[in-house]
Amino acid sequence: MYITKTLKQKKTQHLDDLARASGRCYSKVVSLVRKTHKQKNFWLSKGSVQKYLRHKAYALHSQSIQACADTYFDSLKSFFQVRKSNSDAKPPKRTPRYFKVRWKSSAIRLRDGHLILSNGKGREPVILEDVSEKPNYVEMFFKRGHYYFALVYKVGVPPKQDTGITVSVDMGEIHPIVSFNGKRTTIYNGRQLRSIMQYRNKIKASFSAKMDRCEKRSKSWYKLLKAKRKTLDKLDAQIKDAEHKITSRFITDCEKAKADTIVIGDLKGIRDNIKYSKKSNQKLHQWAFARIADKITYKAELAGIHVVSESEAWTSQTCPQCGNRKKPSDRNYHCKQCEFTYHRDGVGAINIFNKVSGLINNPVVGTLAFPFGVRYNQHLCRSA
Ligand SMILES: [Zn+2]
């Protein structure tokens, strides 16, 4: 399993040149493969393209050049896969001016806390400071005015446990995580996370509106762009930090409870319990759910816990005791058919748990403890 650590670096001429060289190399691969297919009606193999690239003098490490072919042939492979079921699929054809740069293990050295990324003999290497371990590979990409270096480490994964204890997770708009372990519901409070996200959207919209009033690419337009990027970067870091703290705390609780499986409500379908005013609003939430689900998944993997997903259709509207469907109308979910009453935020997690245990429509709920709240705070940490 791989984990990634990302470092941000200032945009410099040197890094621009590397991204440009990579763009040239990648575009060459794209055009070579496509041209051959068009003229001779066959697809070149990755091996032959890499052989061809060996004689090319792009200002990059030889392995970084080969990595451009790796990337293109990976997307070509998924095109072949998609083509089986969709005859309209097109092979990847984008020939970007700038492209990500990948350093493989042989181009990476670690010396006195400095990570040295070689760009081939006689060329200036890239040096990253404060790195304590040598990564398996490094990737440089450009985002919002800065270069980022993703340091990718391969880590050992502990063997999966088998305790028979399951915890379900419901991700909601109000709370990022509500979990249920068969007895108790735990609410991981997301008020702070939600307020940062709302603030971020407001700020983004206000910058965009201001920029619309300026002439595009004018001096004041660029000034606003720079300020916008800076603010959004800062808020994104805060969001990421909050998401890490909440998911880490959740995983620690699962470890303490000796859970061997986490069930996450499947996000692919449209959630039934949220009225979306705009399509984009829905997208935004799905994106936020996916980020939380990703973090839970990889942290669970590192803790030796299985993660499975379960369709969450109707889970927030169904009575966990009798299966009757009804929308909750206030803070409490109350079923008129069987008189089941519970805090509405816990109902989704209980239903997901019941679904995976094969207990739907079974009167399992008897005496439920009131939801237990975990408040997010800045000092919440993994060992809490
Ligand atoms: Zn009921």
Q: How many CB atoms lie within 10 A of CB 219?
A: 9
Residue 273: the pLDDT is 46
How far CA 140 is from CA of 22, 26, 341, in Å, comes to 10, 14, 53
348 C-alpha to ligand 1 centroid (Å): 14
Q: Is the pLDDT of residue 175 over 90?
A: no
CA distance 4 to 101: 16
Q: Is the pLDDT of residue 283 over 70?
A: no
Rounded average pLDDT over 345-358: 86
Rounded average pLDDT over 129-136: 95
Task: Look up the pTM and report it.
Answer: 0.76
**What does R_g of the chain's alpha carbons equal in angstroms?**
25
Amino acid (1-letter code) at residue 74: D
| Residue 363 pLDDT class (50, 70, 90 cuts) | very low
Q: Is the pLDDT of residue 20 over 70?
A: yes
307 C-alpha to ligand 1 centroid (Å): 29
* Least confident window among 5-14, 219-228, 258-267: 258-267
Residue 281: the pLDDT is 62
3-state secondary structure of 65: helix
* 372: β partners: 186
What percent helix, strand, coil does the chain show, rounded to 5? 40, 20, 40
Q: In which region does residue 184 sit, left (phi positive, over 0), alpha (psi from -120 to 50) or beta (all else)? A: beta
Asked if residues 374 and 384 have their Cβ atoms less than 8 Å apart, the reply is no
* Least confident window among 296-310, 338-352, 360-374: 360-374
Task: Please compute, for residue 170, the number of CA atoms within 13 A of its CA located in the half-sphere on the CB side.
Answer: 33
Angle at 83 between CA 82 and CA 88, to 5 degrees: 110
How far CA 222 is from CA of 10, 88, 125, 143, 361, in Å, comes to 17, 40, 31, 16, 59
* Least confident window among 143-147, 238-242, 344-348: 344-348
265 C-alpha to ligand 1 centroid (Å): 21
311 C-alpha to ligand 1 centroid (Å): 20
The mean of the pLDDT values for the chain is: 87
Cα–Cα nearest to 140, from 305, 15, 56, 2: 15
Residue 377: the pLDDT is 53
- Each domain of the chain, given as residue ranges in start order, spans 2-154, 166-191+239-374
320 C-alpha to ligand 1 centroid (Å): 7
Residue 101: the pLDDT is 98
Q: Is the pLDDT of residue 345 over 90?
A: no
CA distance 314 to 311: 9
Topology at the third CATH level for domain 166-191+239-374:
Nucleotidyltransferase; domain 5 (3.30.420)
